[in-house]
Structure 1
Amino acid sequence: MADKLPFGKGASINRPPLFCGVNYQFWKVRMKIFVESIDKGIWNAIKYGPFIPMVENEKVIYEKPWSQWTEQESKKVQYDCIAKDIITSALSSDQFFRVFAKEMWDILKVTHEGTNDMKRARKRTLIQEYEKFRM
């Protein structure tokens, strides 16, 4: 039975479990355990998304410049980089290109088309400009 499994006979505490597209639920549990064994902060980066240091200046919130990051903020940002490395190391080449092709497509779509809210706002603006033009 173990010979037929895509992830091999045993596991390694030094390498993340390989995901080949089969038995995702089992891989997901093993991956969570693997990541948490390294650092719980890495799992939080996967679960909640990347940490972006922010600063508030006169009620305006913006991303903090890299040169002003504290040591703690740098560590939290590094968790996301480590998480990406672990996840990409755990994927077969087929899964890797499937995941990143989708991510790249979504980024391009939002960048060039915008989100649904942005589309609605653009539509309203164009309608207002059209109405002004008619007058």
Structure 2
Amino acid sequence: MTSTFMSIFLGESQSINRLSYFNDANYSYWKTRMTLFIQANNYAMWDIIMDGPTIPQKKESKIFVPKSNNKWNDEDRKNMQQNAKAMHTLFCALGPDEYSKFFFLFKRQ
């Protein structure tokens, strides 16, 4: 098959190894492709995206507060690594304009 044939019938991003970019068009199509891509590659990452990140915490005076980085154990680091991978995957799937919008929101938190 030629690359022209592949582009015509499969499109630019029809790969099981490459993310589909969101460009503010065809959201339903993009959402389905991203859901399946993430679930197929790392289902634990999908859980983080759906349930939110696991932030290392400790109990202080009957409440839980975030641990400082120097108090993290191996499990805490593993969880934070998974959180970072999930965010990286989502940000890599955004086109430049959408990335700018989401990155601005992300930095405000």
The TM-score bracket by the shorter chain reads 0.7 to 0.9
Specify the code of the residue in structure 2 equivalent to 1:39.
Answer: N
8 Å CA contact retained: 1:41, 1:76: no
1:18 corresponds in structure 2 to 21
Matching of residue 95 in structure 1 with residue 98 in structure 2 = yes
Query: Larger deviation: 54-63 or 85-94?
Result: 54-63
Q: CA deviation at 1:10?
A: 4.8
Which structure would you say has the larger RCO, counting Cα contacts within 8 Å and 6 or more residues apart? 2
Provide structure 2 residue ranges, at least 5 long, that are not aligned to the other structure: 1-6
Same amino acid, percent of matched pairs: 28
Q: Give distance in 2, aligned partners of 1:102 and 1:58.
A: 32
Q: CA deviation at 1:60?
A: 3.4
Q: Give distance in 1, aligned partners of 2:101 and 2:69.
A: 32
Count of paired positions: 102
TM-score, with structure 1 as normaliser: 0.63
Q: CA deviation at 1:9?
A: 4.4
Provide structure 1 residue ranges, at least 5 long, that are not aligned to the other structure: 109-135
Q: Give distance in 2, aligned partners of 1:93 and 1:75.
A: 29
CA RMSD of aligned residues (A): 2.3
From 28, 31, 37, the counterpart of 1:28? 31
8 Å CA contact retained: 1:42, 1:82: yes
User: What is the SS of the residue equivalent to 2:58?
Assistant: strand
Larger radius of gyration: 1
Specify the code of the residue in structure 1 equivalent to 2:49.
Answer: I
From 48, 52, 75, the counterpart of 1:45? 48
Change (3 A) 1:103 1:72: closer
2:69 corresponds in structure 1 to 66
User: What is the SS of the residue equivalent to 2:18?
Assistant: coil
Q: CA deviation at 1:93?
A: 0.6
Q: CA deviation at 1:53?
A: 0.9
2:89 corresponds in structure 1 to 86
Specify the code of the residue in structure 1 equivalent to 2:52.
Answer: G
